[in-house]
Amino acid sequence: MAKEQIFVGVDMDAASIRGVRLSFAPNGGKPGKSAWRLLAAAEINADGGDFLDEARAVSALKRLRENLKTRPSDKTSICLSGKQTYSVRMDARKLPDDEMEGMLRLELRKNMPFDPSAATFDYQFMPAPAESGGGEDGAAWGPVTVGAAADSYLNRQADLYGKAGLPPYHANVLPISIANAFWAACGDGAAEPDGAVLILHLGADVCTVAIDGRRAPFFSRTFSFNAAKAAGGSDAQNGEDKSADVSSSVDVLAGEVAKSAAYYRNAYRVGDISSISMLGAYASHPAFDGLAEKTGYPVRVTQTASLVRTEKPLEPGKYDLAIALAMQAA
């Protein structure tokens, strides 16, 4: 019988940290029973500060580790974001692993915002369209999703988590991670959407968009948006009516979504997106209920948490990225 394995996923932004601890045990093909089980989920808030300060971040990660009751044998997966990360999907020749990274450095050197010779790459070949074939030399080609991070940034993050007793076993960049969270919830394909989907990660002060589809180009962008403030504005404070502030914030978010969709259509000369899928700390917050009306697109919260057996339901969308990260380490 296969031994149970434990995986930890951590989703951290400037204002809060969400983590999950999952067990994976093959279910022997039993129908309707997931091989993944939630052992613990926890959130640590900055309480008016932020986690840009290293000492504060390490202290919070230590509290997260204690709340999750992690063990040294657990495998932790983290997310990387910011200007020292890069993601793209491209057509590439399938080379041996020891040759792929060199090829990617060469091909992407003009597009990356940092030195590819001092970066770490991760890549995954995607299922190729049925009509695709080999290159002129007969070698196999296919679409590959590439994530990269500057070595200096990756090392700082590894050191940060290591100080907290959560040394990273696996890391991936944010746009690819949120796309993976969305596709994981699609399961065997029955829930796959038609066309491209705009996947929206609502962070505390930065939002990330990834547009993806089975037969559509991959695109991502990040923009400043204070989701924490918008969500806070929907709560009654000191008897003040915050509804006007919330409406204005949703207008700003809807404008950024529309800008992303318009750029995608024009740059890739493809059809419009089919829907919006949201995840993150504020994905199910009522402050953003009006996004569908303001954008004209159907809006749903990702369902990655539905893949995990839990004793009680998790807040929709809140832990989906952390769950997807833990699963990616398996």
Question: Which tokens is 210 given?
Answer: 């990834």
Rounded mean pLDDT of 57-85?
Answer: 97
Q: How confident is the model at residue 194 (pLDDT cuts 50, 70, 90)?
A: low
Rounded mean pLDDT of 230-238?
Answer: 56
Q: Where does residue 95 rank: exposed (0-12), middle (13-18), buried (19+ CB within 10 A)? A: middle
Query: Does residue 239 surpass a pLDDT of 90?
Result: no
How does pLDDT run across 245-300, given as a tens digit for each residue? 556 889 999 999 999 999 999 999 988 999 999 999 999 999 999 999 999 999 99
pLDDT at residue 190 in the model: 45
User: Which range among 29-43, 50-64, 172-186, 230-244 shows the weakest confidence by mean pLDDT?
Assistant: 230-244
Rounded mean pLDDT of 194-203?
Answer: 90
pLDDT at residue 185 in the model: 86
CATH class of 193-302: alpha beta
Neighbouring residues of 62: CB distance < 8 A, sequence distance ≥ 6 = 164, 165
Query: Does residue 84 surpass a pLDDT of 80?
Result: yes
Helices (H), the chain: 54-68, 97-108, 151-163, 174-185, 227-233, 243-268, 291-295, 320-328
What gap in Å lies between CA 264 and CA 22, rounded to an integer? 36
Rounded mean pLDDT of 113-117?
Answer: 95
Listed residue (122, 51, 116) closest to 84, CA to CA:
116
CATH 3.30.420.40 maps onto the chain at 1-82+147-191+303-330, 193-302
What is the amino acid identity at position 186? C
Query: Does residue 238 surpass a pLDDT of 70?
Result: no
CATH 3.30.1490 maps onto the chain at 85-146
* Residues 79 and 320: beta-carbon distance below 8 Å: no
Q: What is the DSSP letter of 168?
A: E
How does pLDDT run across 130-174, given as a tens digit for each residue? 444 554 444 588 899 999 999 999 999 999 999 999 999 999 999
* Average pLDDT value for the chain: 88
pLDDT at residue 21 in the model: 98
pLDDT at residue 49 in the model: 76
CA atoms within 13 A on the CB side of 279: 29
CATH number given to 1-82+147-191+303-330: 3.30.420.40
What gap in Å lies between CA 4 and CA 247, rounded to an integer? 47
pLDDT at residue 69 in the model: 98
Q: What is the DSSP letter of 288?
A: G
What residues are paired with 209 via a beta bridge? 200, 221
**Better pLDDT: 3 or 115:** 115
pLDDT at residue 226 in the model: 87
Listed residue (167, 165, 185) closest to 323, CA to CA:
185
Question: How far apart, in Å, do the first and last CA atoms of the chain sit?
Answer: 17
Neighbours of 28 (CB within 10 A): 9
CATH topology of domain 85-146: Dna Ligase; domain 1 (3.30.1490)
User: Which range among 41-50, 202-211, 241-250, 260-269 shows the weakest confidence by mean pLDDT?
Assistant: 241-250
Neighbouring residues of 138: CB distance < 8 A, sequence distance ≥ 6 = none
Rounded to 5 degrees, φ, ψ at 230 are: -65, -40
Rounded to 5 degrees, φ, ψ at 164 are: -90, 0
pLDDT at residue 186 in the model: 81
